[in-house]
Structure 1
Amino acid sequence: MSLSAMSRKMILVAAIALGCAGPGFSPLSAAEKMTPEKLVSLHLDAIGPADVRTGMKSRVFRGEGVWRVFQGGHARLPGTVLEASDGNSISLRFDTDGNPTYYGEHLVYNGKNVRIFQGFPGGRSPLGAYCMTNKALLREGLLGGVTSTAWTLLHLEARGAKLKYAGLRKVEGRPLHRLDYKVRKGGGPETVQLFFEPYTYRHFQTRYSNAAYGRVATTMVTETFSNFQHVDGLTLPARWKIHYNRSVQGGGPGSMVAEWEFAFKTVVHNQPIDPSLYELGTAAR
């Protein structure tokens, strides 16, 4: 199915919802009554009805992407993106069409193991290395948010993660509900923060952060989702940005700021996933 602009009906529904809230309603008053369980429930309803959500066994997104480097080098490489998910399994593939300096990405969790393609001639990309060090991003269905059937909040009981509601926080100039997420088995970032819009309860952003080497270096990875579309009874983002920021104290060697941005053009549900999408090439480990 082709992804087009959000329908007028969805915009009208959102406008009515805001109007019905009345002048006395504010995101702050909503936050005072919020709990982790309630926020997750509202978020899942924002994705779609329960029977539609559970009926989506697999999903394949295809589109275009671009990789940019702002610090620690300079680059801008376009490519194609394919994200396939089936239950708890996920495969994210970004192909730069054989570029000799950066091949792209292939991040895989096949339900048992995390495997990461070596995107550079000498090893993994910063994103690939981060996901290998923090395997919970793939193993627990955090990476990609609701673009994937493996999305962690769809399988919260099985994940066993600890959640804490942290109130409304300003992000990019607007208040968002923050949910702090602690992975169950380790192998994840020091902090994981999920952000949701206060009226629609759509998942807007995830922030991961780690400190290393006596806290001399800090790595922050931020996923941002936008351009939500109505697809097969679900509301899903058609744009996904991954911002990587590794900061070394004093701006020393190793600092890097890079970004992967994906624009999905088509999505297909409930079709068999090609098993080869969960297999890596000879450069993989």
Structure 2
Amino acid sequence: TQGGRSPLGNFLMSQPIVLKQGLLGGVLSSAWPLFNLERRNAKLSYSGTDKINGQTVHKLKYMPRNAGDLQINLYFNADTFQHVRSQYEYVIAARQGATAEMSASQRDSRYKLVEDFSDFQATGGLTLPHAYKIQLTIETQNKTQTLEWTINFSQFAFNQTIEQELFNAARN
């Protein structure tokens, strides 16, 4: 949005733990916390199995320190153990109205960010998702808004040399 943050930007600003913990992007990011869980000072709790798109998955609750009310769940394919989804949810309680009737008509605001990973292919000795989808759903008093972004990767490059000139700022 012009002059402000996007709804996704607002979500990430209000829940900075998602970026601080390296969760956003899953295994596509070298900051992925499951590469070194001790360093992240977070706990994992097994929550059983679930189904995503007809596929059985293992559900893990990810609990970093200072996460506040944010609920974080990670989902892994039950056969391959590939990370197929991350889900982040939080609720802002409805404000109390001036009267009991006004309070009864108030509704909590719910925020849910879902990252889906699919189309896993071997690349550079790793098996990485080549399809990445982000879906943000915001339910407020007046409306429900769902936004979606999809990225399809065709190529990965690792440990590439970056020319020093790219880091020099041009002066006008």
TM-score, normalising length: structure 2: 0.82
Distance 2:69 2:7 in 1: 15
1:257 aligns with 2:137: no
1:235 aligns with 2:134: no
1:194 aligns with 2:86: no
Preserved CA contact (<8 Å) 1:216 1:248: yes
Q: Deviations over 1:150-179 (max 9, x none)?
A: 111002110010110001112223321000
Q: How does 1:59-208 map to 2 (within 5 A)?
A: 120-186=1-67, 190-208=70-88
Q: Deviations over 1:182-239 (max 9, x none)?
A: 11233x6620000000110000001110101436110111000011111110000111
Distance 1:213 1:228 in 2: 39
Corresponding position of 2:92: 212
Distance 2:163 2:15 in 1: 26
Unaligned segments of structure 1, at least 5 residues: 1-119, 279-285
The residue matched to 1:269 in structure 2 has which SS? Answer: coil
Distance 2:165 2:7 in 1: 24
- Name whichever structure is richer in helix by fraction: 1
Preserved CA contact (<8 Å) 1:223 1:240: yes
Amino acid paired to 2:155: T
The residue matched to 1:265 in structure 2 has which SS? Answer: coil
Distance 1:259 1:168 in 2: 26
Distance 1:218 1:204 in 2: 23
Unaligned segments of structure 2, at least 5 residues: 95-106, 168-172
Q: Deviations over 1:246-273 (max 9, x none)?
A: 1124xx14x3111011111221111256
Q: Percent identity over the alignment?
A: 39
Preserved CA contact (<8 Å) 1:225 1:237: yes
The residue matched to 1:246 in structure 2 has which SS? Answer: strand
Distance 1:276 1:212 in 2: 46
Distance 1:196 1:210 in 2: 22
TM-score, normalising length: structure 1: 0.51
C-alpha distance 231-257 of structure 1, shift in aligned 2 (>3 A): same
The residue matched to 1:122 in structure 2 has which SS? Answer: coil
Distance 2:40 2:163 in 1: 26
The residue matched to 2:5 in structure 1 has which SS? Answer: coil
C-alpha distance 128-190 of structure 1, shift in aligned 2 (>3 A): same
Larger RCO, structure (CA 8 Å, separation 6 or more): 1
C-alpha distance 237-277 of structure 1, shift in aligned 2 (>3 A): farther
Distance 2:120 2:48 in 1: 24
Say how many residue pairs are matched.
155
Q: Say which of 232, 244, 249 aligns to 2:136.
A: 244
Root mean square deviation, CA, Å: 2.3
Aligned structure 1 segments of 4 or more residues deviating by more than 6 angstroms: 274-278
